[in-house]
Structure 1
């Protein structure tokens, strides 16, 4: 992968870009993790999946810090091998006994949830998916019986904040 560099990058940004490119070349993608804070739950996202494999970048929000990167690496490996993932379809073979679903990320969420990826894609021209995981009891963020605050802990990154590529309970979970 050819590194995207400009003379105007700050040293810290250039170091991060170099790390992303190195991770992409060594591992097939880079996973960037952001810890939870007073403003929200932790999340992690990929960078280089689109550039290296032609598969959408991905984000997962609210999982334990050790599980998010594992899930993203598995997604990139499978997608890079040709597996296609469809919005609203349940996938039950990433984690034993825990389903997940994919949703398209609205571009308005890119700066907040894919910030470092803009070092690779300065114009923001890349597709992105969100991988959504229910609670251990099987409640989705949009479920009326989801625990209080779960929808804020794992926000849905569409324009409406609800699934938009399918209808919950109709043609999706």
Structure 2
């Protein structure tokens, strides 16, 4: 698979060189995008697909350090040969809350995964959205979830939370 790791360094700007250097050093890179009038802040990975053939990860509305630590936890689990099942609730990601990974529809890649698209040179990689419940234990697709909870974690699946129970 051709990636930005194969690009001549002189063809990359300093930001691109930084991403490539971090992926060479650590196996992955975390991108942190702040909240704005368009929506909540989010963080996503680049490198999981190349190293493990595990989907890249994206998570919304977590503090950057929390997201980064969570990505490291998942990375170490993958290194140990353990994988999280997509679409099933798990207690293996967060210490005090369940989580669910759902496939991100490719139509969302352009708006949310710019650096991963650049790194891979296309959209031929997978990504999953890491979701967590609100303080009342409700995931965004729950009929009882608040509007704030729903807007904090937008639906990046094919729609309607990829057929999860409402």
Point out the structure with the larger strand share: 1
Describe how 1:142-157 pairs up with structure 2 within 5 A. Answer: 142-157=141-156
| Aligned equivalent of 2:28 | 29
Give the whole-Å Cα distance in 2 for the aligned partners of 1:41 and 1:125.
26
- More deviation, 52-61/38-47: 52-61
2:165 maps to which of 133, 151, 168: 168
Give the whole-Å Cα distance in 2 for the aligned partners of 1:156 and 1:81.
30
| Aligned equivalent of 1:54 | 53
SS at match of 1:93: coil
SS at match of 2:99: strand
SS at match of 1:45: strand
User: TM-score if structure 1 supplies the norm length?
Assistant: 0.84
Give the whole-Å Cα distance in 2 for the aligned partners of 1:119 and 1:93.
30
- More deviation, 72-81/119-128: 72-81
SS at match of 1:3: helix
Give the whole-Å Cα distance in 2 for the aligned partners of 1:48 and 1:87.
18
| Aligned equivalent of 1:42 | 41
Point out the structure with the larger helix share: 2
Displaced runs of 4+ in structure 1, greater than 4 A?
none
SS at match of 2:57: strand
SS at match of 1:85: coil
Deviation at 1:4, TM superposition (A): 4.1
SS at match of 2:92: strand
Give the whole-Å Cα distance in 2 for the aligned partners of 1:44 and 1:100.
16
Q: Give unpaired runs (5+ residues) of structure 2.
A: none
- Distance of aligned partners of 1:90 and 1:26 in 2 relative to their CA distance in 1, 3 Å threshold: same
**Is the contact between residue 59 and residue 130 of structure 1 (CA under 8 Å) also seen in structure 2?**
yes
| Aligned equivalent of 2:99 | 100
Give the whole-Å Cα distance in 2 for the aligned partners of 1:88 and 1:38.
30
Q: Give unpaired runs (5+ residues) of structure 1.
A: none
- More deviation, 36-45/116-125: 116-125
